[in-house]
Structure 1
Amino acid sequence: MTNALLSKAMSGTVDPPLLPLPDRVVELLTELGSPPRLAAHLRAVHDVAHQLVVWLEQRYPDVVFDREAVLFGAATHDVGKTVHVSELSGPGAAHEEAGQTLLLGHGVSPELARFAATHASWAWSPVGPEDLLVSLADKVWKNKRVPELEDLVVARLAEATGRAVWEEFIALDEVLARIGDGADERLTFQASFPIHA
């Protein structure tokens, strides 16, 4: 039963419709014996990251960023919670370093494994646009708005485009509000899966 739940959380037909996790991530989570709820969370954040990437590509075709890195990072950012399962339902940051170590140990490049460590540390270290997008997806999937994070994204967009900060703020606010509108359905989806495998 657990394997069926994990499979459904990662790639099954669900309501709301969410993109399935990438095959490489499905294989990794299966091998690690991921709790179904973690897989559901990663799928929801991955889907939101995809929405952000599409928006960025459409509105800012000249902004250079690594699309696949953002999607992989969103799909694996909390993989360390396979080791620190208590952090699925409570606070903690031990999963960050553990996740990066797990990914590196499974042959994931440092460039992709970093998201497990950087998704919560965007305020304390210089990070690229990919890291900011993963962090943003990890917040807005549940309609959590973090002004400091959004201000960093707005500043990067204004710098890249030469447009006014207020214009980029309005554009980002609109897309985050639209994505945030689906938060209740994503939260219900995640909660429908058990924490323990």
Structure 2
Amino acid sequence: MTPSNALSRALHAPADPPLRPLPPPVVELLESLDAPPRLAAHLRAVHDVAVQLVDWLEHRHPEIAVDRAAVLFGAATHDIGKTVYTAELSEPGSLHEEAGRELLLAHGFEPGLARFAGTHGSWSAPGTTLEDLVVSTADKVWKNKRVPELEDLLISRLAQATGTEPWEAYLALDDLLARVGGGADGRLAHQASFPVHG
């Protein structure tokens, strides 16, 4: 299936601020699903923010083992279930979470990667990993939304992993999220420039 012009632009067109391309397997999946262009633009924005968060983690805390590829895949596919529940592109809802996990599994992706579609909205669930918290944070801060409960979990995980005081982890993370959040208006405008339906 040839992607619509709007979907192709959402996946590949330059943006301001610049957005990195999605991983090729994700692009292929979105094209095969004829995903809503606005969803593709959203996934690209959240993926780009996740790259910034992982880059920061790797530079500031090289002693922390973070699965970069998993985080970036998770950010790039976290809302894939909205291809099934398209109403949730413009209205609140969580039906897309389990639908997204099942969709990814049905397309042959490993459970460890498919899980992000189901966990990005439930960061306080038992067994939540650092990678889950980073994807959830990217899904909020791309639009400069700050969620104290989520950030506290991430700060606690960082402080524990590095042996630093929570306030030190807070100051460093707060500075990063404020900088990343500064590009929110451009990302929101880019996403809004694409239609919900192809």
| TM-score, scaled relative to structure 2 | 0.97
Residues 116-174 of structure 1: CA distance to partner in whole angstroms, max 9, x if unpaired? 00000112333001000000000000000000000000000000110111000000000
Q: Is the 8 A contact 2:11 2:21 kept in 1?
A: yes
Q: Secondary structure at the match of 2:7?
A: helix
Matched, 1:10 2:16: no
| Structure 2: unaligned runs, 5 residues or longer | none
Please provide the CA RMSD for this pair: 1.1
1:124-163 → structure 2 map (5 Å cutoff): 124-163=125-164
Matched, 1:112 2:95: no
Cα deviation for residue 14 of structure 1 reads 2.2
Cα deviation for residue 65 of structure 1 reads 1.3
2: CA distance, partners of 1:193 / 1:171: 34
The corresponding residue for 1:41 is: 42
Q: Is the 8 A contact 1:77 1:115 kept in 2?
A: yes
The corresponding residue for 2:24 is: 23
1: CA distance, partners of 2:125 / 2:64: 24
Q: Provide runs of 4+ in structure 1 moved above 4 Å.
A: none
Cα deviation for residue 12 of structure 1 reads 2.0
The residue type paired with residue 58 of structure 1 is: H
* Count of aligned residue pairs for this structure pair: 197
Q: Is the 8 A contact 1:12 1:20 kept in 2?
A: no
Q: Is the 8 A contact 1:2 1:36 kept in 2?
A: no
Residues 97-118 of structure 1: CA distance to partner in whole angstroms, max 9, x if unpaired? 0000000000000000000000
Deviates more, 1:140-149 or 1:12-21: 12-21
Q: Secondary structure at the match of 2:134?
A: helix
The residue type paired with residue 191 of structure 1 is: A
The corresponding residue for 1:184 is: 185
The corresponding residue for 2:55 is: 54
2: CA distance, partners of 1:111 / 1:52: 20
Q: Is the 8 A contact 2:3 2:34 kept in 1?
A: no
Deviates more, 1:117-126 or 1:184-193: 117-126
| TM-score, scaled relative to structure 1 | 0.98
Q: Secondary structure at the match of 1:114?
A: helix
2: CA distance, partners of 1:5 / 1:125: 39
The corresponding residue for 2:72 is: 71
Q: Is the 8 A contact 1:9 1:193 kept in 2?
A: yes
1: CA distance, partners of 2:13 / 2:192: 16
The corresponding residue for 1:82 is: 83
Q: Is the 8 A contact 1:46 1:137 kept in 2?
A: yes
Cα deviation for residue 2 of structure 1 reads 6.4
